[in-house]
Amino acid sequence: MVFLAIFVALILLIFIITLLKLSFMVLVFIDSKGFHMEIKVMFYRIFTLFSWNLEEGGLNFLAKKKKQVPKEQKKEKGRVSAVLKLIFSKDTYTHLKRNLEVFIFSIKGRLSTKDAALTAMLYGSIWGIVGLLMSFIPQKNFVLDFYPDFKEETPDFHISCILRVRIIHIIILTANHFVGKTKEGGNEKYGTASN
């Protein structure tokens, strides 16, 4: 009887966890110290699952040059390639478009540069982008409190965006991908570490 109670409690806990939401947070700061960016994946903005900071992680992975390997020595594509294919597929885009919720989109602070004309162009460009986003994001989720400052030279500008998606939608998307892959009959071959 105790095992049945533990099993039911475990099933109930798994069901509750799948209905909870993951939060994806992107923070961009431009101030006197320069450009800062931080990306976090959090469980309800309480428990951080993944965090990346521009100062710590950097963008050096974009600048790395791939070494040239002859075709006969190239390994078959591995699991990372399959995951990237899943992330950037059309099915993922349509699924997330329906189920992704913009929790907060916030632009705050003072926008300023050394050149007043550049400040005005940046300010107008940001309002152009905000105008495009306003049709997709509910007004209650927008926080817009920024202004151009033509006298100061150092900006104090913050952009933050929090996106939420239910864990069950990620599970369904992954399951649909694997079911579709087995229906096609094409199982991908993964490369091995030993050759």
In a domain, 3, yes or no: no
Note whether residue 70 is domain-resident: no
Residue 84 within any structural domain of the chain: yes
Residue 111 in any domain: the answer is yes
Q: With respect to residue 12, please indicate whether it lies within any of the assigned structural domains.
A: no
| pLDDT tens track, the chain, 195 positions | 888 889 888 888 887 777 778 888 888 888 888 888 888 888 776 788 888 888 776 655 555 556 666 666 555 555 556 666 766 777 777 777 777 888 888 999 998 888 889 999 999 999 999 888 888 788 888 889 999 998 888 888 899 988 888 877 777 777 777 777 677 655 555 545 554
pTM of the full predicted structure? 0.64
User: 42 is in which domain, residue-wise?
Assistant: 20-56+79-184
Does a structural domain hold residue 49?
yes
Exposed e or buried b for every residue in 167-194, given b needs 16+ CB within 10 A?
A: eebbeebeeebeeeeeeeeeeeeeeeee
Task: Confirm whether 122 is domain-assigned.
Answer: yes
Number of domains in the chain: 1
User: Residue 131 falls within a domain, yes or no?
Assistant: yes
